[in-house]
Structure 1
Amino acid sequence: MKIFPEHAFADGTAQEISTCPILAFVSSRCQGLWHAARLLGGYESARLVDRCIDILAHDECVTPRARMMLEQILAVLSLEKVDDPNLPYMGHFACIDPLDPVVEEICLLTDGLRGVLGLNVGETDNKRVA
C-alpha cells in the first residue's frame, strides 16, 4: 500500500487495504491521530504525526524510525509525560473536559495504536512484550 500525507487520507477516499496492521491503522485513523495529538500535545505533537505519516508514505513500510515516532505519538496519547513540568503537555491536557466525548475517542485511538504496535500499558520506549 502506498501511503500519502494527510490529504490522501481524506474521508471518502478509497484506500487499498494494507497487509501491515500498523499501516492500515494509521491510514484509516490518521486524521483522528493528528487531532488527538494536537489536543493533548499541541501543534508540536501534531507535526510529529505529520512527519510520521510522511515517513510511512515515503518508505511504504514501518521502519525503526517510523516505529519510534509511533511510540512517541502513543506516549502523547496515553499521557505518559503529562506530569513533566519541562514539557507543555500538562497545559493542553488540563484544557480538556473529562466528560467531553473526545476523551473516549482518544482512549480508543490509544488502545488501537498500542494494540497494532504490540505494546502493553506502559511499554513504550522500545520495551516489547516477549
Structure 2
Amino acid sequence: MNLDSISIFAPDLAQEIPPDPILAYVSAHHEALWHAARLLGGYESARLVDRCAELLAQDRRVTSRTRMMLDQILAMLSLEEVDNPNLPYMGHFAVIDPLDPVVEEICLLTDGLRHELARTVSEALLRPDA
C-alpha cells in the first residue's frame, strides 16, 4: 500500500475563523464612519468612532461598552437626535447640502451598520452557548 504524503491538513488549506461581523465592518469602513461622524457631530463624535474601533480591535469582540458606543454611532448616523437642542447634531446636519453625495454614503454606512448589528444579535440568539 502506497500512502500519499500530501495531507489535507496542510497549512495553506487551513480554514480561517471568520471575524466578528461588527469588527470586520468597522475595520473596513473606519475612515468613512469617522468622516460621517465628524460631519454629523463634530470631532467629539469622530473620537467616539475612533475609541470604539480601538476597543473592538483590542477586545476582538463586541462588549457591552462597545455595543453602547455602536448604538450611539448608529443613532447619530440615522439622525435620531438631530432635533435635540442639547446635542451638537442639529448645527452640523444643517450645513450639509441634501444633494451632496456624502448624504448617500452616510445612508449606506447607516444601513450597513444597522444590518451588521442586527445580524450579530440574531447570531447570538441562535448560538447554543449564548
Q: Normalised by the shorter chain, which TM-score bucket?
A: 0.7 to 0.9
Query: 1:102 maps to which residue?
Result: 102
Letter in 1 for 2:72: Q
CA contact (8 A) 1:23 1:61 kept: yes
Which residue of the partner structure matches residue 123 of structure 1?
none
Q: Find the aligned partners of 1:110 and 1:17 in 2 and give their Cα distance.
A: 26
List per-residue Cα deviations over 1:10-62 (Å, max 9, x = no partner): xxxxxx98431111101100000000000001011001001101111111111
Correspondences of 1:12-31 after superposition (within 5 Å): 18-31=18-31
CA distance change for structure 1 residues 21 and 82 in 2, over 3 Å: closer, same or farther? same
- Who is 1:80 aligned against? 80
Whether the 8 Å contact between 1:56 and 1:62 is mirrored in structure 2 is yes
Alpha-carbon contact 2:23-2:57 (below 8 Å) kept: no
CA contact (8 A) 1:22 1:62 kept: yes
Tell me how far apart the structure 1 counterparts of residues 61 and 82 of structure 2 sit (CA, whole Å). Answer: 30
Give the match for residue 57 of structure 1. 57
Moved >6 Å (runs of 4+)? none
Deviation at 1:93, TM superposition (A): 0.1
- Over aligned residues, Cα RMSD in angstroms? 1.6
Contact 1:18–1:24 (Cα < 8 Å) also in 2: no
TM (normalized to structure 1)?
Answer: 0.76
Largest Rg, 1 or 2: 2
Give the C-alpha shift of residue 106 in structure 1: 0.2
* Runs of at least 5 residues in structure 1 that lack an aligned partner in the other structure: 1-15, 120-130
Paired residues of 1:17 and 1:24 also in contact (CA < 8 A): no
Q: What is the aligned residue count?
A: 104
